[in-house]
Amino acid sequence: MAEQEAPAPLKSLNSFDPTFISFLNKSSGTAEAWWLNFEGKPVSYGYIQPRASLRMNTYLTHPWIFRASDGAKLLANLGEVYFPTPVQFEHGIPQYQPVNVTAPVYLLQEYCIRLIRSMVRKEDIDKLEIPEGLRKDLSREPDLQRDIQILSAKRSINGSN
């Protein structure tokens, strides 16, 4: 039985096939757009205010991820990672394709952690009378690089591009 080849790491592969994207922030808060460069390192392309858009000239193999201002994950066209699609032309003119950036349905625990972080100073978390597991989750700050490693591992397990 032939061994299945693992998918490429989560990073930009080449700049051969240009495409045009318009990221539309449909979440209720500010979204930050992150391009994953050729080493898999996140590069910020700035913030998108709610109901605003960011037009981007990009390439087919360039992955994008989005985060809320508190570091929580956002989705692009319902996925955690967005890979651009081929350019579309109308009357010979390339069209910016809309990509909706939205908030996922957070688990109750995730929502509570976000809410507590927004209301309680970091140094006061230990003073709260809450379960130790929740206290531990609160002390773990959002980490984009860790999230990218987890997403890469998921791709390897699922064998998806």
pLDDT band of residue 91 (cuts 50, 70, 90) is: very high
Q: Cα 31 vs. chain centroid, distance in angstroms? A: 9
Q: What percent of the chain has pLDDT over 70?
A: 93
Cα→Cα distances 131→106, 116, 134, Å: 20, 13, 5
Reference 66, options 101, 15, 93, 14; nearest CA is 101
Asked whether the predicted pLDDT for residue 60 surpasses 70, the reply is yes
Q: End-to-end CA distance of the chain, in Å? A: 22
Q: What is the pTM of this model?
A: 0.86
Q: What is the pLDDT of residue 62?
A: 97
Give 78's DSSP letter.
Answer: T
Asked whether the predicted pLDDT for residue 1 surpasses 50, the reply is no
Q: What is the mean pLDDT of residues 106-123?
A: 90
Q: Tell me if 96 sits within 8 A of 55, measured CB to CB.
A: yes
Asked whether the predicted pLDDT for residue 16 surpasses 90, the reply is yes
Got the DSSP string for 28-65? SS-EEEEEE-TTS-EEEEEEE-TT-EEEEEEETT--EE
